[in-house]
Chain A
């Protein structure tokens, strides 16, 4: 079956611009997670959705970052006024429940110039 997909695979933008990153989870998975992975580091948690609601957004670095999951399936991570420090790989994962195995997408590589 289809795994987690993320679009775009790569995104280059200029400092100050707005970007949206999309995640399509595995069908039927109620839990969805966003992580950010910087070069040479492990993924860092950003936000967790259970259904349509953000159950835990404690990892969002500041109010420029926002994520939605309006119908409990596809999620969009939104970054306003991008900064060069936002450059990283953004990973999405989904699972069938809060403590079940998470399955990851291939990531979106964001480069802010």
Chain B
């Protein structure tokens, strides 16, 4: 079965420090991986995606993610956290539904809290 795991419900980090939000996946074939951020009462905003190529993907707002095939991980990172980065972060994998259809499978989300 295809799945995504975000092992941490919450991550706390001091402003200015580097942050990491973890994601591991299980999928057949080559994965398409995504990170989204959700602010209160807002929809999900796309941050970045990995399809193929360079294992380090750069995205919006200074975020980046590292694809590691051997560890089946796609951790989200940022060198220097901002208080405004505090939000709910979701990892997702694009999974085949058969017959050329695809759908996202999301992790349960990780709440990032950046402390001033």
Using a CB–CB cutoff of 8 Å, the interface residues on chain A facing chain B are 4, 33, 35, 40-45, 48, 50, 55-56, 58-59, 91, 93, 98-99, 101-107
A45 to B46, Cβ gap below 8 A?
A: no
A45 to B103, Cβ gap below 8 A?
A: yes
Q: What is the distance, in angstroms, from A75's C-beta to the closest C-beta of chain B?
A: 15
Proximity string of chain B (17-42) to chain A, C-beta cutoff 8 Å, 1 when within and 0 when not:
00000000000000010101000011
A48 to B103, Cβ gap below 8 A?
A: yes
A-B interface, 8 closest residue pairs, ranked by CB to CB distance from nearest: A42-B106, A104-B43, A104-B44, A56-B101, A106-B43, A56-B97, A45-B103, A55-B101
Q: Is B113 an interface residue (CB 8 A)?
A: no
Residue of A44, A58, A106 touching B42 (CB-CB under 8 A): A106
A41 to B46, Cβ gap below 8 A?
A: no
Which residue of A has the minimal Cβ distance to B90? A42
Q: What is the distance, in angstroms, from B50's C-beta to the closest C-beta of chain A?
A: 11
The docked-state distance in angstroms from the alpha carbon of A109 to that of B89 is 19
A103 to B46, Cβ gap below 8 A?
A: yes
Using a CB–CB cutoff of 8 Å, the interface residues on chain B facing chain A are 4, 32, 34, 36, 41-46, 49, 90, 92, 94, 97-109
B45, B46, B101 — most chain A CB neighbours (10 Å) = B101
Residue of B43, B100, B105, B107 touching A98 (CB-CB under 8 A): B100
Interchain residue pairs with CB less than 8 A apart (28)? A4-B43, A35-B104, A42-B107, A42-B108, A43-B44, A43-B106, A44-B106, A45-B103, A48-B101, A48-B103, A55-B97, A55-B99, A55-B100, A55-B101, A56-B99, A58-B97, A59-B103, A91-B44, A93-B104, A98-B101, A99-B94, A101-B34, A101-B49, A103-B46, A104-B43, A104-B46, A106-B42, A106-B43
Residue of B43, B45, B99, B102 touching A99 (CB-CB under 8 A): B102
B44 to A50, Cβ gap below 8 A?
A: no
The docked-state distance in angstroms from the alpha carbon of A40 to that of B107 is 11
A42 to B109, Cβ gap below 8 A?
A: yes
Residues from chain A with a CB closer than 8 A to the CB of B99 are 55-56
Extra inter-chain contacts (16) besides given A43-B104, A55-B99, CB under 8 Å? A40-B108, A40-B109, A42-B108, A43-B44, A45-B103, A45-B104, A56-B97, A56-B98, A56-B99, A56-B103, A93-B44, A98-B100, A101-B34, A103-B46, A104-B36, A106-B43
